[in-house]
């Protein structure tokens, strides 16, 4: 009976999934935008622009996200 039970997402999991999707969309958009701007407007070579785009992607990941989720789970428990 336990193996046939449907797995439902908790409200916290639903909000975390939504947050992750928004963060990914924003990070990719900014990474691509800054890559194109640096390549087309400034005229850097392609390798420098790729490194610049990757730097923008990494910069959009918040450092305190793991701690914030851990504290939220601890408070709700």
Domain ranges of the chain: 11-76
Q: For residue 17, what pLDDT is reported?
A: 86
Q: Say what the pLDDT of residue 1 is.
A: 56
- Other Cβ atoms less than 10 A from the Cβ of 73: the count is 10
Looking at residue 66, what is its pLDDT? 77
Spatial separation of the C-alpha atoms in residues 59 and 50, rounded to whole Å? 14
Q: What are the mean pLDDT values of the chain's consecutive 10-residue runs (77 residues total)?
A: 72 83 88 89 88 85 78 76
C-beta separation of 38 from 49 below 8 A: yes
pLDDT value for 2: 62
What's the distance, Cα to Cα, between the start and end of the chain in Å? 27
């Amino acid at each position: 009976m336990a193996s046939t039970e449907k797995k439902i997402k908790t409200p916290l999991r639903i909000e975390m999934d939504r947050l992750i999707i928004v963060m990914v969309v924003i990070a990719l958009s900014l990474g691509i935008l800054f890559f194109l701007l640096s390549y087309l407007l400034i005229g850097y070579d392609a390798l420098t622009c790729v490194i610049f785009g990757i730097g923008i992607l990494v910069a959009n990941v918040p450092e305190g996200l793991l701690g914030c989720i851990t504290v939220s789970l601890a408070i709700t428990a």
